[in-house]
Structure 1
């Protein structure tokens, strides 16, 4: 028969083990949701590329596009502290005025290295002046970095919000961006080794393993200290 202290220890151990197990199951459920999201992203990416006339809004995220238009080169923005291939530099973002429409879309054209000796110097960039054709995929605004105070309005910035930039530039911007994957210019000075969308599946599986391990540890410790160890002591002469 368990003493009062024994019941307290048993109930506490069971509640703690149940909590750890529930948290592990929650992480597995989050991973399943991310897998479903990845399947939806892959399905969107496999659909035919959208042309100028078919662009509408945010519900088309991850679709491939084949667009024609003119670069608004004077509105190019260099997003600072952006990594690619293990190096830190700029994401180059330029509005593309869409042919046949009075709207434009922000294009994440690629990555360029930063001059570490003169951080105000921008890399050479080739921007055609005539009509261009670009291939890419639709994405949300570039990821935001931590920034002290309000963002500036110069060529070099930390972050870029589509709505704010539309008001600043006077352009009618669609509420999404294009991540450019190919250029008609053979050497425009930009790198486009864009990483695949990272949904954090391994993180969820890792957390689930940790919670289940803690659950098992609690049960093992209870069995050892409350059952096995006292029995061994009683058997000693």
Structure 2
């Protein structure tokens, strides 16, 4: 009972931690947007994750990458990632511009997506670098890739890449969808585990009471003199 009860309590504490994380992310999402100057002057980018940004810069379109095996809305496709060289600075940041379906007739073909030239303004939210998927062997260069490893990609492109990325928001355009999933820390999962552990604890306590106290007392009554 002590073990199952403590495990249930631990799961509730984990749920509280995850709920605090979700609350923090929602609070950051309502903060004023950072511009490129604020972003480049920030020492700890982790402190700004999930908050809005509105950045000016120029696309480095020749270094665009289509990240493979990235589903959206139940469909398989690519996430288009393009570096944005920030205005007035040598630093660049990867922008996850949106999702495009893949051509299953020719898996080596990349979709045609127009990339504006000159100074652009990109609205989005600050995010960690693009997620890493399991990959057999070493990463291969090219327009279609499974993953982007920031240090290696910075060396390959010669760009001074920031240790973060931007999820571009706004309405979808003719080629790109931006139905990014809402962050979920898994609060309900830990609450469900806690319920299971407390249910086991309650069941164990009930069985203990039955076999140690209730059942022996009932047996003594049935074995009493009046039943002999």
TM-score normalized by the length of structure 2: 0.89
The alignment status of 1:111 with 2:62, answered yes or no, reads no
Q: Distance in 1 between matches of 2:217 and 2:145?
A: 68
Q: Does 1:209 align with 2:195?
A: yes
1:41 and 2:25 correspond? yes
Partner of 2:58: 70
Q: 1:89 aligns with which of 77, 91, 101?
A: 77
1:195 aligns with 2:181: yes
CA contact (8 A) 2:34 2:52 kept: yes
SS at match of 1:87: coil
| Mapped pair 1:80 → 2:64 | no
Partner-residue secondary structure (3-state), 1:59: helix
CA distance in 1, matches of 2:188, 2:57: 40
Mind listing any 5+ residue stretches in structure 2 that lack a counterpart? none
Q: Which residue of 2 is the match for residue 171 of structure 1?
A: 159
SS in 1 for 2:69: strand
Distance in 1, Cα, partners of 2:105 & 2:209: 63
Question: Is 2:156 the counterpart of 1:134?
Answer: no
Q: How many residues align?
A: 219
Give the secondary structure class of the aligned counterpart of 1:118.
Answer: coil
> 2:217 and 2:141 mapped to 1: Cα distance?
74
Q: Is the 8 A contact 1:95 1:107 kept in 2?
A: yes
Displacement after TM superposition at 1:26 (Å): 0.7
Unpaired segments ≥5 residues, structure 1 = 1-16
